[in-house]
Amino acid sequence: MIYLDNAATSFPKPEPVYEALDKFARTTLANPGRSGHRMALASERVLDDARHALNQFFKGESPERWVFTLNCTDALNMAIKGTVEAGDHVVTTDLEHNSISRPLRALEKAGVITLTRVASDNGYINPESIRAALTPKTKLVAMTHAANVLGTVQPIETIAPIVREAGVLLLIDAAQSAGVWPIDLKTTPIDFLAFPGHKALYGPTGTGALYVGPRAKPRAWREGGTGGDSKTETQPEIYPYFLEGGTPNVLGVAGLLAGIRWVVERGPENLRQHEVKLLQRVVDWAETSESWSVAGLWDPNRHVGALSLVVPDGLTAQDVSSILDTSFDIAVRPGLHCSPYAHQRLNTFPDGTLRLSPGPFSTDDHITAFINALSEISAGVL
Ligand SMILES: Cc1ncc(COP(=O)(O)O)c(C=O)c1O
């Protein structure tokens, strides 16, 4: 299978990730933070090492501020629902994945918050539109770093100081950027950084993390199950355990740690350049094609490795994806990509687009096969 669906989850993982998972599962998979024997301590050590690795990679305040989650959705819900209160105003954008847009819309529908959805232009958010949306009641700005439909990278280095200056909390969804775009928490004032471990950090599914900066004071999420401090009647307030109830996915984190180390060794910018170079070929081909076009503005300097193609009339994204899968052995993702407002803005709602997202192991031959397949499909039908 030619796998061009890395924006959903990365595949294959780098070899050291498979090795770490296998070794950890066979030798160390005890319950961390519970029993105090050597295996439990070794297991806890992997969680600590991964927190240190994340803290160094993103330059956070301290390792304890990194909370492991089930995925990015879990991290985003933890930040949003743990922060907003009745009467708060929240600013978001029309580029969001429904992991942000759904919890916010549900809170809005329930009358808990008021919500402003800032409009994008060709896949990009203008920082001044964020500034204009802030009100004295704004508690939180919740937005994506790289749009998952389009791969466009938002100027968070400019937006973050605007939000901080207004005394508002900033939640960044780094699902599509963590691992391929540098994020420096020392110079970019972000209060919550949420991301999955299973995309461009190359951990397995079931991993994710939330960075909680010192200004953020979310309420407890899952309560109980912290192992230590059993005398306390309510959730111990010490981080990261305050937000990490229950036995953590320490096996997954062992894989994630190997993934982070692999990314650090390769360098995020090198990984991004490889993917963008492959996508450039698709962009060049689409520009000469009579039937296919690229959604949003293509700027290789402000893009991660995901690209959406507008499907020609007479075909649907779903049909093309099915044909690619069954007749050409190529995996991509059709449809709305969990982001209906982005497609409304792009006029590609409700059918959506065809998204391809190469990864570090994708090759020129894969892209050639993809382009030839699309040409063949459209020539056969149109
Ligand atoms: C921008 C964005 N946010 C959130 C998510 C949700 O991530 P997860 O599936 O890890 O919950 C995704 C997944 O594709 C995404 O692309």
Q: pLDDT digits over 154-172, tens only?
A: 999 999 999 999 999 999 9
Asked whether the predicted pLDDT for residue 374 surpasses 70, the reply is yes
| Ligand 1 mean position, distance from CA 35 (Å) | 34
> For residue range 327-351, what is the model confidence (pLDDT) as tens digits?
999 999 999 999 999 999 999 999 9
9 lines ligand 1 (CB under 6 A): no
Does ligand 1 come within 6 angstroms of the Cβ of 208? yes
The closest alpha carbon to 272, from 371, 173, 182, 356, belongs to 182
pLDDT score, position 185: 98
Distance 214 CA to ligand 1 centre (A): 24
* CB-based contact 150:100 (threshold 8 Å): no
DSSP H or E stretch at residue 334 = strand 333-335
Confidence tier at 250 by pLDDT (50, 70, 90): very high
* pLDDT greater than 90 at residue 197: yes
Between the CA of 339 and the centroid of ligand 1 the distance, in Å, is 10
* Whole-number Å distance between alpha carbons of 185 and 201: 17
The protein residue whose alpha carbon is closest to atom 13 in ligand 1 is 8
- How far apart are the C-alpha atoms of 107 and 93, rounded to whole Å? 16
**Count of C-beta atoms within a 10 Å radius of residue 378:** 18
Ligand 1 center to 205 CA (angstroms): 11
Q: Is 226 in the pocket of ligand 1 (CB under 6 A)?
A: no
Residues 264, 199: Cα–Cα separation, whole Å:
15
Q: How far apart are CA 316 and CA 64, in angstroms?
A: 47
Q: Rounded to whole angstroms, how far apart are CA atoms 228 and 33?
A: 6
CA distance 43 to 30: 6
Q: Is the CB of 174 under 6 A from ligand 1?
A: no
Query: Is any atom of ligand 1 closer than 6 Å to the C-beta of 96?
Result: no
Cβ 97 under 6 angstroms from ligand 1: yes
pLDDT recorded at residue 310: 97
Model pLDDT for residues 266-282, shown as the tens digit of each residue: 999 999 999 999 999 99
Asked whether 71 lines ligand 1 (CB < 6 A), one says yes
**175 Cβ below 6 A of ligand 1:** yes
**Cα–Cα–Cα angle for 255, 192, 267, rounded to 5 degrees:** 45
31 pLDDT higher than 60: yes
CA 196 to ligand 1 centroid distance, Å: 7
DSSP string across 62-100: -GGGEEEESSHHHHHHHHHHHH--TT-EEEEETT--HHH
Whether the predicted pLDDT of 381 surpasses 90: no
**Rounded to the nearest whole angstrom, what is the distance from the C-alpha of residue 222 to the centroid of ligand 1?**
20
**What confidence score (pLDDT) does residue 260 get?**
98
Name the residue among 130, 164, 142 with its Cα closest to residue 79.
Answer: 142
DSSP 302-367: GB-S-EEEEPPTT--HHHHHHHHHHHH-EE-EEE-TT-HHHHHHHT-TTT-EEEEB--TT--HHHH
- Return the ligand 1 atom nearest residue 9 CA: 14
Q: Is 196 in the pocket of ligand 1 (CB under 6 A)?
A: yes
User: Which pLDDT band, with edges at 50, 70 and 90, does 382 fall under?
Assistant: low
Q: Is the CB of 308 under 6 A from ligand 1?
A: no
Q: List the structure tokens of 45.
A: 């050590």
pLDDT of residue 94: 98
pLDDT at site 108 = 98
Q: How confident is the model over 63-108, as pLDDT tens digits? A: 999 999 999 999 999 999 999 999 999 999 999 999 999 999 999 9
Instruction: Summarize the confidence of residues 178-184 as an average pLDDT.
Output: 98
Q: What is the set of domains in the chain, with CATH numbers?
A: 15-266 (3.40.640.10), 267-381 (3.90.1150.10)
Average pLDDT, rounded, for the chain: 96
Pocket test for ligand 1, best of 99, 180, 195 (most atoms within 8 A of CB): 99
Q: Which of 147-151, 219-223, 279-283, 360-364 has the lowest mean pLDDT?
A: 219-223
Average pLDDT, integer, range 229-250: 92
Name the closest-CA residue to atom 12, ligand 1.
175
